[in-house]
Each structure stands twice: as C-alpha cells, then as structure tokens.
Amino acid sequence: MPLYEYRCEECGKEFQIFATIAEYTGGINVSCPKCKSSKVARIIGRPTVLGTTRKGSDADSFDDLDSGDDFGDDDESGGGDFDDEP
C-alpha cells in the first residue's frame, strides 16, 4: 500500500498516511493529526530502494549502495594487465 506524505499549511507538521491507489485517486479527506486542519499539501518524497537505508540528509544519494570497491586494479590508465601481443 502506498505511503503518502503531507505537510500542514497551518502548523507545519509533516505526517504520512497509507492509502490504496484507488482510495487516493477516488479522493480522500486528509487532515492534520496535530491541529485537525484540512489545509495540507502533498510532499513528493525521494524514492526508496527496497533493502537499503537512507543516510544523512535528502541531499545525499544512495550512499549505502557504494561498497567502496572500484572493481579494478591500481592502474588509473584503465589498461589493466593485458599484454600488447596476442
């Protein structure tokens, strides 16, 4: 079930709701859980890849996907260990 994020325009509280796509497209009444205002704006969040966690602020990318391996040798020319002769 999709998670929808909202921010209250009255008190600034950010909150989330779960709703099916059918419920969302059919029109759901969303109100702030803190002040009960119906003046809320949808927040479009950054996608999440299953099996990973977010690190740092939203400015960071999927840093936890980088294992630090460069899958190459220390030769920065990119030539590897190949001989010139066949």
CATH of domain 3-62: 2.20.28
* Of 20 and 64, more confident: 20
Instruction: Tell me which residue of 32, 49, 28 sits closest to 40, measured CA to CA.
Output: 32
Please write the tens of the pLDDT for every residue from 30-67. 999 999 999 999 998 777 666 656 555 544 454 555 55
Whether the per-residue pLDDT at 77 is higher than 90: the answer is no
Q: Write the single-letter amino acid at 60.
A: D
The pTM (predicted TM-score) of the whole model is 0.52
Q: Where are the domains of the chain?
A: 3-62
